Amino acid sequence: MKKGILFLICLVVLIIVGAFGFSLMVEGSHFQYQEGTDTLIVDNELIQGRTIIDGSDVFVAIDIVDRFIYPFVDVITEEKRFFIPSKLTEFYFENSELDEFVKQKDFIMNFNLKEEEGNYYLPLAFLQNLIGIEVNYIEESGLVIIDSINSNGFIGQAIEKINVLQQPRLVSGKVTSINTGETVNIFSQSGNYYFVRTLEGKFGYVRKDKLEVENEDLRGQAEKAFKSREEWQPEGKIGLVWDYVHQFSKDRRGEEKLDAIDVVSPTWFKMTDSDGTLMNKGDKNYVVDAHEKGYRVWGLVTNSFDPDMTSEFLASQEAQEHFIRQILFYSGLYQLDGINIDFENIHYKDKDTFTSFVERLTNKLKKDNLVVSIDVTIPSTSPNWSMVYDRVKLGEIVDYVAVMTYDEHWAASPKSGSVASIGWVERGIQKTLELVPNEKVLLGLPFYTRLWEEEKIPGNRVKVSSRAYGMDKIKEILVENDAEIDWDEITGQYYSEYENDGKTYKVWLENERSLALKTTLVEKYDLAGIAAWRKDFEHEGVWPVLANMIKFGKTYNQILVELNK
């Protein structure tokens, strides 16, 4: 009898100790993650996998994406690209006409892969609305939580402060606690308990009577709409700079806002096939940063400067519509503000079909309030490079015409000379203004120059070759060769020449003074503004000069005084 009583007493003590002892256990169980590890949660599964947090995006290793999240991605690691069929994604345009047009036929989306230490990652936060997931990053713990929007999970709200338990029973260790009004994700039930996940990513059980369950899965409310942007009316003259992107955009988040610039135009889109297929090199972080700084972003699209491919493309209305669908999609996805059309080297016979294509493209883009600009050379007698542009009609169709007033002497020129002498630039603008309204014309400015190499060869001839350099690099070369630099009134540039290893080197320099002189044409002819090629070729002193002229009304003479101080 005494043994039975002793056993009961011990049992009661164990229950009491267990009830209190377990509640004081260190948080964590086989459902919990360890902070500092490379871990993510997909719905109610804890997964070990590589993740990268970069700005507003969360990147997840491709093998994890394929196995646990979204198995419909085609990856080509050699090209550092991945592909997703549009029919397997979810999106829509607020403009119903555009929505219907883009979805008439399927297309293959393509994006850059992120590579780090030989591993490849997909930008899941960026893609989340497209592929039906919700991505959250818990900065305090470094945990990534991914929910499948089409899963059967529900949302519960605590009606009072309650404990989240390790096991679905009264006597259990405590995982954590949640306060009144806090929500949890509900995945399943066990007797009188729900199996839940807190907002911090901790799993456990909560009594059913302590949660108010929503009638629908709130995770299904992710925003999939491509919102139409407001129509843009610039204040004063426009400053645009093209940003060349080979494959990946340069991270410019640490750079200061440039007063001279309103628009950045990254070279993100390239037609790669006569069926209108586009290569996409867009970067959401780039757009977010640009918008935070107050820039507009006009994505540049090119025809790869391939006249034969372009001719086949222009001959097919189906190819043109395929092209337009993709441009509309990427413009909505990245929330671009405009598109810059940079089609060059087009067969003259395609002049009219090219103009019709630009009109068809512009009509669609304008329905989404995108600004449309086109790049043209100066009027000349070159069929493919100049005469193919019907400047009168193009000027009526698009918002802006950027005149590429550079490459007076191009890379393969048989004669050394300036890239953009002031007389040649002004004549090019004058001829353009006979065909295009001045309020639509952007003056092209070169941030580069060419170093010409002249070598005497048999037959009393001179072999000429050149190489393009940015402003700072060409100055370094001239300093290394002790070359004198003198102002040339005729070209409106500094000129330098030196001898090395029996060869003569010549250069017509672009710098603050030469660019200021060219920029006087904006006021003289009341142009819309400037368009500079390209970012990272400039000397940093160029920016305040351009800002003072196109934004703050300073004259060329005033700039000269400041430069000579």
- Pairing type for strands 400-403 and 371-376 reads parallel
How many whole angstroms separate alpha carbon 192 and alpha carbon 208?
Answer: 6
Sheet holding 45-48, edge to edge: 45-48, 39-42, 143-148, 133-138
What single DSSP character describes residue 109? Answer: E
How many whole angstroms separate alpha carbon 195 and alpha carbon 168?
Answer: 8
Angle (CA) 328-136-42 rounded to 5° is 100
Find the length of the chain.
565
**What are the φ/ψ torsions at residue 203 (nearest 5 degrees)?**
-100, 150
Say what the pLDDT of residue 225 is.
83
Q: Which of 540, 547, 536, 552 is nearest to 511 (CA)?
A: 540
Say what the pLDDT of residue 153 is.
72
Q: Which residue has the tokens 């067969």?
A: 347
Class of domain 238-446+511-563: alpha beta
Domain ranges of the chain: 39-221, 238-446+511-563
How many whole angstroms separate alpha carbon 62 and alpha carbon 244?
Answer: 28
Cβ contact 142:81 at 8 Å: no
Q: Which token pair is 492?
A: 């409106």
One-letter identity of residue 141: S
Q: What is the DSSP string of 47-63?
A: EE--EEEETTEEEEEHH
Domains 39-221 and 238-446+511-563 belong to one CATH topology: no
How many whole angstroms separate alpha carbon 541 and alpha carbon 514?
Answer: 12
Tally of CB atoms within 10 A around 200: 13
Per-residue pLDDT 10s for the chain (565 aa) are 444 554 444 444 444 434 333 332 323 333 454 544 568 999 988 898 899 999 889 999 999 999 999 999 999 999 999 999 999 999 999 999 999 999 999 999 999 999 999 999 999 999 999 999 999 999 988 899 999 876 667 889 999 999 999 999 989 999 999 999 999 999 899 999 999 999 999 999 999 999 999 755 444 445 678 988 888 999 999 999 999 999 999 999 999 999 999 999 999 999 999 999 999 999 999 999 999 999 999 999 999 999 999 999 999 999 999 999 999 999 999 999 999 999 999 999 999 999 999 999 999 999 999 999 999 999 999 999 999 999 999 999 999 999 999 999 999 999 999 999 999 999 999 999 999 999 999 999 999 999 999 999 999 999 999 999 999 999 999 999 999 999 999 999 999 999 999 999 999 999 999 999 999 999 999 999 999 999 999 999 999 999 999 999 999 999 999 999 8
b/e per residue 305-314 (b: at least 16 CB within 10 A)? ebbebbbbbb
Class of domain 39-221: mainly beta
How many whole angstroms separate alpha carbon 36 and alpha carbon 270?
Answer: 41
Is the link from the previous residue into 219 a cis peptide, with omega within 30 of 0? no
pTM across the whole model:
0.92
